Amino acid sequence: MQYMWRKPGTGTDADDPNESLVGPAPLAIRGLTVAYHRKPVLWDVSYTAPPRGLIAVVGPNGAGKSTLIKAALGLVPTVSGRVEVFGGPLAKQRRLVGYVPQRESVDWDFPVSALDVVAMGRYGMIGWFRRVSRAHRDAAMAALERVGMAGFADRPIGQLSGGQQQRVFLARALAQEARLYLMDEPFAGVDAATERAVLDVLRDLDAAGRTVICVHHDLQTVADTFDHVLLLNTRVVAAGPVAQVMTKENLARTYGARRLVADPEVRR
């Protein structure tokens, strides 16, 4: 694996990404392999997320990007490897992780309101099968306001547009008050208002010192939106600061030598 990381206050790359971290990494993946029907989707993936910032996971279709997010969350079985969140197993650190899934993976016919969905993000603090207090409902409403959806709080989730549904799930993640956020293509197929809302939330989380890892498909916007990038195609191709990693050589290794890269941000 190629990992480009500079130690604070130095001009040299660290031999081990963990050496540059103050405290445990938000997400540390070691030797992760996932297979569907005996076909590897991820193979021996190791990655250490930086202590803060916006990270894009980029690669071709079928590269294992969404599987990486799901495996990190324990949502799909793994063949081998381990995942740590802030130095501990996910089972003990789950409350520190917020998740925004792909819209296609959600049952939108489930009979709940937008506010109910966002309040689910508070269950780590409330406890399952316990009543949602006024304070937690107020926190859920505040999260809806952050994404411009307070006016739809009582609307059944299935009656919202695709972009509105995405914003509700983004609000649910915000309501968790997590330290690490994993988002599976939050910009995919959304309207302009939702795209602005997502961007605003990402910038706010970054300013608050949170770590956000997003599966992202648009190479043209990586440099404008993200600080770090993980190039993935079943294996990790390269990872680190966008300016160092998004080279034509690395993109050719990720997407294939015949892919033409027109992004002016990609170094020659």
Q: What is the pLDDT of residue 143?
A: 93
Q: Is the pLDDT of residue 251 over 90?
A: yes
Per-residue burial over 16-49, b if 16 or more Cβ lie within 10 Å, else e, is ebeebbeebbbbbbeebbbeeeeeebbbbbbbbb
Report how far residue 248's alpha carbon sits from residue 253's, in angstroms, rounded to the nearest whole number: 9
SS3 37: coil
Whole-number pLDDT of residue 38: 86
- DSSP H helices, 102-238, are 114-119, 123-126, 134-146, 162-175, 192-207, 222-225
Contact 181, 100 (CB under 8 A): yes
- Burial of 79: CB neighbours in 10 Å, binned 0-12, 13-18, 19+: middle
Q: Which pLDDT value is given to residue 228?
A: 97
Q: What is the pLDDT of residue 162?
A: 87
Alpha-carbon distances of 232 from 67, 102, 254, rounded to whole Å: 11, 18, 7
Q: Which residues contact 127 (CB under 8 A, 6 or more apart)?
A: none
**What is the chain's mean pLDDT, rounded?**
84
* Residue where the block lists tokens 């990790």: 236
* Across 36-40, 83-87, 187-191, least confident range: 187-191
Q: Considering the chain, what percentage of its residues have pLDDT values greater than 90?
A: 60
Range in 55-59, 128-132, 200-204, 230-234 with the lowest mean pLDDT: 128-132
| pLDDT one-digit tens code per residue, 209-241 | 999 999 999 999 999 999 999 999 999 999 999
- Check whether 3 has a pLDDT greater than 70: no
Q: Specify the pLDDT at position 69.
A: 97
What predicted TM-score, i.e. pTM, was given to this entire model? 0.83
In the predicted structure, residue 127 carries a pLDDT above the cut 80: no
Residue 49 has pLDDT above 70, yes or no: yes
Helix (H, G, I), strand (E, B) or coil at 179: coil
Longest Cα separation, the chain? 57
Torsion angle defined by CA atoms of residues 66, 68, 74 and 77, in that order, rounded to the nearest 10 degrees: 90
Instruction: List CB contacts of 165: < 8 A, sequence separation 6 or more.
Output: 103, 106, 108, 157
Q: What is the pLDDT of residue 126?
A: 60
What is the model's pLDDT at position 257?
59
